[in-house]
Chain A
Amino acid sequence: MPPSHSSHKPPFLLRPGEWALVLAIAIAIALTALVDANHSYWFRPLDSLRDIARNTALLGIFALGATVVIIAGGIDLSAGSMIALSSTVCATTMLALAPAQMMGFKPVGFAAVAAGCAASLLVGFLVGTLHAWLITAVRLPPFIATLATLVGLRSFARALCESTTAAVTPTKSALINISDPFFKTVRDNVWIPVAVFGVLAIVTWLLLTRTVLGRHLHALGGNEQAARLAGIRTDNVKWFAYCFGAMTAALAGLFYMANESVAAPVNQGRGHELNAIAAAVVGGCSLAGGVGTVPGTVLGTIFLRVVIDAVSKIIKTGADVYEGLIVGIVVVIAVTLAQVGQFAKGGRGLLPGALGLCAIPTLAMLCGAIVSMTAGARIGIVSGVGAAILLALLRVWESRRAA
């Protein structure tokens, strides 16, 4: 007999895991406010808020896309390359329509901007269609199909950038500067991406919870064969999911381009797809499909950005160096905490057997190395040894409990 789920009432506003995220965000902010030597949360709260809000909105926009794809039981690894392609398509379109203005750093006019943005979103739709075709008609696993476009689209974007600049401007270039006032406005007004993110989140939330398509997305991710046998056109639902994923990445790409005032296919959005997937997973999405919520992903995104901001405030130098490390640690901790009940109940230990023994020095060295690099060698060694002792104590306690 499976353990039955005792609560059948809808939870208050958010699910328990999501309330935990709210708490975690509050704690992260409070800690930063206390520990940060410059006390920027006290003296310049608006600057910090603006920073976090912009980064959250940009990541959040395509994290929502990743959420929809993951709920439908798929995965989209190509979002980062889609961002690069989107900004490149927008920039090259404007360059082709108004070469003189682009080269002279002058306004290109509303029509060219609109055409550029529309072209980006259209390309997003086309890439989503390509994914859906590869997955449903060619029958590639989603991981393979989007791995191919992860690698391929960035290269394609670069080729597009170089051949367009070679044709239109005197020199071939791997980046295109953007100086139109429309994009400057977007860059300087943080509420624009935040508002877009907010509206998109509400639309996605309605889509997932209150529409037939949303229910079909959940059904598809939960049990694909049963969904087909229930008369759901699963291929069409997948088509929608991958288009939504690619188009949100395309939209985010426009914001990244505005933010950086440049379309740079070589590096723009590189690795961002994993941040989006991480935000969705921290927010409670299951990579097995069928499970996930918009509030969860929004909170997961905020949490990721708040932690990254906290570390950059506390460490000061080169926070981007540690961004990947932070995302990795946060994902591991969030998913571990989600199943902490199983460890607490017993039966399962964190450090079992020979693997557990080897894990103790591994974790201790990791901890020591990170601390030495950020806070100095002496503290690093102390904290590494400290971690080793703590883990060893945990191991002893666990084996006592098992006996």
Chain B
Amino acid sequence: MNVSIANKATDHADAPAVVMRGITKRFPGVVALADVTLEVRRGELHAICGENGAGKSTLMKILSGVYQPDEGTLEIGGVPTRFTGTRDAERAGIAIIHQELALVEDLSVAANVFLGREKRTSLGLLDDRSMHGECGRLLESLECPVSPATRTGSLRVGDQQLVEIAKALSLEASIVVMDEPTSALTESESARLERTIERLLAVGTTILYISHKMDEVFRLADRITVLRDGRHVRTVNRDDTNPREITSWMVGRELADHEFRQARTRGPKVLEVRSLTLPWPEHPRGYRLSDVSFDLHAGEILGVAGLMGAGRTELLETIFGAGEPTWTGEIRLDGKPVHFQHPREACDARLAMVTEDRKRLGLFPDLDVAGNVSLCSLRDALRGGLLSRRREEDLVAGPIRDTGVKTPGPHAAITGLSGGNQQKCIIGRWLLTKPAILLLDDPTRGIDVGAKAELYALIDRLCREGLGVILTSSELPELLTLADRIIVLAEGRLTAEFPRAEATEQKIMEAATGG
């Protein structure tokens, strides 16, 4: 696609699109990448797999000029290159779509696509008409039905991602890096993205694709590279391997099929929700939740399935007293009706909630590991009315051990832990409050395979110890693995309930989309 690159590289027409040789990158205290060599062929989709912290994102940031390597060389289209910034990489035809989208929410879609490269009229003023026109054509080609004049912040995540891709297209990038693009997408949005990817490949674009999701990787990739602990494990053709093998290379061991088929013993009913309705005045639908009813028993995991925007998070927040208190209906805790106005009241009633967006809603980056874990039960760390460092360490030692947090010590920086370990810290925080009901909102989002299996085992064990658990997830296999029963939400309504034995991905998807 990129003419300039093609011209420059005519002598190297057969050269690989990207060669990274012997790349080493050190950060204070860690070696993020050690002697990694990667060769990407022209026009292929090259998947890069690895656990969080394996070095995938660091490698891609070196490729896109965000970081400079400490050692090693980089060749783009056969030409040795050195990037000192992202601009250099853009000029060489490399575009990256980051995991955390880098759009200016208050600007229009077209303004974002042309940010930093605005088109001007002959008078030197912004040429909005031409930018909107080109942006509109790009979005149309991506099946993205939004107007270029829309405020970017008002778009859904899936559409925002396509705006990033439109930006990459407008750069005429010949190499596109996608860092876990589907982690926040619904099934239909993922399908649309896959069609876009196929279109890009058809015109000869090279794609580097980072993902945790094995089904995606095996559907899309030509070749797969596995990284572990900052080292290159191997690169294979998709047809010569299978998901099981890739996963085992990622974690460095064979994974037991984490299924928990032994029946759990169901205890008494702890939570009843009847005709729960949450109004949404500013929306044409009029409600976020409508007439939702279900029960939860002790020692049971209730799965909540639904597409993005179906009301899963709103349901948990309403129960926990964290949402708008304008709901109607009835929530009964051990038979007593409750109407929490603040999460504090829910905590006091022995509810706990692990929120969906860990960074935004769960973590305290300025507190250390111990501070993050002890936050909800600081009273137990008091001695003579003052916090005691020793008592706090003793207090958090239990949950850190039980949840299997890997940390250099209780006073390490929480931001230095991997996503899975951060999530375990947050679960540990709530376990210290000795809850009777645990609400888990998509707890394994953005967490690597090995840590996921550990979290599954942890949730299963907690449930066996008598906790009632409500679990939402954007991944159906997760619900099918863990839940005893699954309820399905579609656009705020409860459309189906299945015992695990009867639930299949097919049935759940039908209920989630059919409404």
Q: Are the CB atoms of A231 and B376 closer together than 8 Å? A: yes
Q: Are the CB atoms of B382 and A222 closer together than 8 Å? A: no
Measured in the bound complex, the distance between the Cα atoms of B322 and A1 in whole Å is 32
Of A127-135, A168-176, A207-215, the segment with at least 4 beta carbons within 8 Å of chain B is A207-215
Contact with B along A1-30 (1 / 0, CB 8 A): 111111011100000000000000000000
Q: In the assembled complex, which residues on chain B have CB atoms less than 8 Å from the CB atom of A227?
A: 364
Q: In the assembled complex, which residues on chain A have CB atoms less than 8 Å from the CB atom of B360?
A: 223, 225-226
Q: In the assembled complex, which residues on chain B have CB atoms less than 8 Å from the CB atom of A291?
A: 366
The answer to the question of B32 belonging to the interface, with a C-beta cut-off of 8 Å to chain A, is: yes
Q: Are the CB atoms of B344 and A233 closer together than 8 Å? A: yes
Total number of A residues with any Cβ neighbor in B under 8 Å: 34
Measured in the bound complex, the distance between the Cα atoms of B347 and A8 in whole Å is 31
The answer to the question of A113 belonging to the interface, with a C-beta cut-off of 8 Å to chain B, is: no
Measured in the bound complex, the distance between the Cα atoms of B84 and A225 in whole Å is 37
Q: Are the CB atoms of B28 and A215 closer together than 8 Å? A: no
Which B residue's beta carbon lies closest to that of A290? B366
Which B residue's beta carbon lies closest to that of A403? B84
> Do A8 and B408 contact each other (CB < 8 Å), given the known contacts A2-B27, A3-B28, A231-B346?
yes
Q: In the assembled complex, which residues on chain B have CB atoms less than 8 Å from the CB atom of A221?
A: 366
Q: Are the CB atoms of A8 and B355 closer together than 8 Å? A: no
Q: Are the CB atoms of A211 and B411 closer together than 8 Å? A: no
Q: Are the CB atoms of B382 and A212 closer together than 8 Å? A: yes
Q: Are the CB atoms of B342 and A8 closer together than 8 Å? A: no
The answer to the question of A370 belonging to the interface, with a C-beta cut-off of 8 Å to chain B, is: no
Which A residue's beta carbon lies closest to that of B33? A1
Contact with B along A345-384 (1 / 0, CB 8 A): 0010000000000000000000000000000000000000
Contact with A along B361-374 (1 / 0, CB 8 A): 11111111001000
List B residues 19-72 near A (Cβ within 8 Å): 27-30, 32, 53, 55, 57-58, 68
The answer to the question of A111 belonging to the interface, with a C-beta cut-off of 8 Å to chain B, is: no
Which among A211, A290, A402 is the interface contact of B364 at CB below 8 angstroms? A290
Q: Are the CB atoms of B387 and A210 closer together than 8 Å? A: yes
> Do A212 and B366 contact each other (CB < 8 Å), given the known contacts A3-B29, A233-B344?
no
Which A residue's beta carbon lies closest to that of B418? A1
Measured in the bound complex, the distance between the Cα atoms of B320 and A313 in whole Å is 62
The answer to the question of A206 belonging to the interface, with a C-beta cut-off of 8 Å to chain B, is: yes
The answer to the question of A305 belonging to the interface, with a C-beta cut-off of 8 Å to chain B, is: no
Shortest CB-to-CB span from A314 to chain B, Å, is: 39
Q: Are the CB atoms of A10 and B415 closer together than 8 Å? A: no
Q: Are the CB atoms of B344 and A215 closer together than 8 Å? A: no
Q: Are the CB atoms of A223 and B415 closer together than 8 Å? A: no
Chain B CB within 10 A, most for which of A9, A212, A226, A227: A226
The answer to the question of B378 belonging to the interface, with a C-beta cut-off of 8 Å to chain A, is: yes
Q: Are the CB atoms of B27 and A229 closer together than 8 Å? A: no
Q: In the assembled complex, which residues on chain B have CB atoms less than 8 Å from the CB atom of A223?
A: 360-361, 363-365
Shortest CB-to-CB span from B254 to chain A, Å, is: 26
Measured in the bound complex, the distance between the Cα atoms of B179 and A42 in whole Å is 65
Q: In the assembled complex, which residues on chain B have CB atoms less than 8 Å from the CB atom of A1?
A: 27, 30, 32, 53, 55, 57-58
Which B residue's beta carbon lies closest to that of A232? B344
The answer to the question of A264 belonging to the interface, with a C-beta cut-off of 8 Å to chain B, is: no
Q: In the assembled complex, which residues on chain B have CB atoms less than 8 Å from the CB atom of A215?
A: 367, 371, 375, 378, 387
Which B residue's beta carbon lies closest to that of A225? B361
Q: Are the CB atoms of A5 and B29 closer together than 8 Å? A: yes
Q: Are the CB atoms of A222 and B367 closer together than 8 Å? A: yes
Q: In the assembled complex, which residues on chain A have CB atoms less than 8 Å from the CB atom of B365?
A: 222-223, 290
A-B contacts at CB below 8 angstroms, number: 112
Total number of B residues with any Cβ neighbor in A under 8 Å: 47
The answer to the question of A228 belonging to the interface, with a C-beta cut-off of 8 Å to chain B, is: yes
Which among A5, A229, A233 is the interface contact of B361 at CB below 8 angstroms? A229
Q: In the assembled complex, which residues on chain B have CB atoms less than 8 Å from the CB atom of A230?
A: 343, 375-376, 429
The answer to the question of A178 belonging to the interface, with a C-beta cut-off of 8 Å to chain B, is: no
The answer to the question of A219 belonging to the interface, with a C-beta cut-off of 8 Å to chain B, is: yes
Measured in the bound complex, the distance between the Cα atoms of B32 and A1 in whole Å is 7
Q: Are the CB atoms of B364 and A5 closer together than 8 Å? A: no
Shortest CB-to-CB span from A353 to chain B, Å, is: 13
Q: Are the CB atoms of A228 and B387 closer together than 8 Å? A: no
Q: In the assembled complex, which residues on chain B have CB atoms less than 8 Å from the CB atom of A395?
A: none
List A residues 213-262 near B (Cβ within 8 Å): 214-215, 218-219, 221-223, 225-233
Which among A3, A212, A225 is the interface contact of B387 at CB below 8 angstroms? A212
Which B residue's beta carbon lies closest to that of A9? B411
Q: In the assembled complex, which residues on chain B have CB atoms less than 8 Å from the CB atom of A231?
A: 342-344, 346-348, 376
> Do A229 and B57 contact each other (CB < 8 Å), given the known contacts A2-B416, A8-B412, A223-B363?
no
Which among B28, B320, B429 is the interface contact of A4 at CB below 8 angstroms? B28
Shortest CB-to-CB span from B397 to chain A, Å, is: 15
Q: Are the CB atoms of A3 and B27 closer together than 8 Å? A: yes
Q: In the assembled complex, which residues on chain B have CB atoms less than 8 Å from the CB atom of A233?
A: 342, 344
Chain B CB within 10 A, most for which of A209, A218, A229: A229
Shortest CB-to-CB span from B439 to chain A, Å, is: 11
Q: In the assembled complex, which residues on chain A have CB atoms less than 8 Å from the CB atom of B322?
A: 228-229
Q: Are the CB atoms of A3 and B343 closer together than 8 Å? A: no
Contact with A along B385-426 (1 / 0, CB 8 A): 111000000000000000000001101110110000000000
Q: In the assembled complex, which residues on chain A have CB atoms less than 8 Å from the CB atom of B366?
A: 218, 221-222, 290-291
The answer to the question of B8 belonging to the interface, with a C-beta cut-off of 8 Å to chain A, is: no
Shortest CB-to-CB span from A183 to chain B, Å, is: 35
Q: Are the CB atoms of B378 and A8 closer together than 8 Å? A: no
Which B residue's beta carbon lies closest to that of A292? B366
The answer to the question of B353 belonging to the interface, with a C-beta cut-off of 8 Å to chain A, is: yes
The answer to the question of B137 belonging to the interface, with a C-beta cut-off of 8 Å to chain A, is: no
The answer to the question of B244 belonging to the interface, with a C-beta cut-off of 8 Å to chain A, is: no
Q: Are the CB atoms of B364 and A4 closer together than 8 Å? A: no
Q: Are the CB atoms of A5 and B412 closer together than 8 Å? A: yes
Which B residue's beta carbon lies closest to that of A210? B386
Which B residue's beta carbon lies closest to that of A4? B416
Measured in the bound complex, the distance between the Cα atoms of B387 and A211 in whole Å is 5
Measured in the bound complex, the distance between the Cα atoms of B385 and A210 in whole Å is 9
List A residues 298-354 near B (Cβ within 8 Å): 347
The answer to the question of B379 belonging to the interface, with a C-beta cut-off of 8 Å to chain A, is: yes
Measured in the bound complex, the distance between the Cα atoms of B385 and A383 in whole Å is 58
Which B residue's beta carbon lies closest to that of A5? B413
Q: Are the CB atoms of B29 and A228 closer together than 8 Å? A: no
Shortest CB-to-CB span from B72 to chain A, Å, is: 17
Shortest CB-to-CB span from A334 to chain B, Å, is: 20
Which B residue's beta carbon lies closest to that of A220? B364
Which A residue's beta carbon lies closest to that of B381? A212
Which B residue's beta carbon lies closest to that of A221? B366
Q: In the assembled complex, which residues on chain A have CB atoms less than 8 Å from the CB atom of B27?
A: 1-4
Measured in the bound complex, the distance between the Cα atoms of B361 and A222 in whole Å is 11
Shortest CB-to-CB span from B504 to chain A, Å, is: 34
Q: Are the CB atoms of A219 and B367 closer together than 8 Å? A: yes
> Do A226 and B362 contact each other (CB < 8 Å), given the known contacts A1-B57, A9-B411?
yes
Which among B342, B346, B364 is the interface contact of A222 at CB below 8 angstroms? B364
Measured in the bound complex, the distance between the Cα atoms of B378 and A223 in whole Å is 17
Q: Are the CB atoms of A219 and B364 closer together than 8 Å? A: yes
Measured in the bound complex, the distance between the Cα atoms of B433 and A229 in whole Å is 14
Measured in the bound complex, the distance between the Cα atoms of B29 and A6 in whole Å is 6
> Do A226 and B412 contact each other (CB < 8 Å), given the known contacts A219-B375, A231-B343, A231-B347?
no
List residues of B whose CB falls within 8 A of some A CB: 27-30, 32, 53, 55, 57-58, 68, 84, 320, 322, 342-344, 346-348, 353, 355, 360-368, 371, 375-376, 378-379, 382, 385-387, 408-409, 411-413, 415-416, 429
The 10 A-B residue pairs with the shortest CB-CB distance, nearest first, are A4-B416, A3-B27, A290-B366, A231-B347, A222-B366, A210-B386, A6-B29, A5-B413, A222-B364, A212-B378
List residues of A whose CB falls within 8 A of some B CB: 1-6, 8-10, 206, 209-212, 214-215, 218-219, 221-223, 225-233, 290-291, 347, 402
6 extra A-B contacts, CB within 8 A, seeds A231-B376, A290-B364: A4-B27, A222-B367, A223-B363, A226-B361, A228-B343, A231-B347
A-B contact pairs, 20 of them (CB 8 A): A1-B58, A3-B29, A5-B28, A5-B412, A5-B415, A8-B408, A8-B412, A215-B367, A218-B366, A218-B367, A222-B364, A223-B360, A229-B355, A229-B362, A231-B342, A231-B344, A231-B347, A232-B344, A290-B365, A347-B68
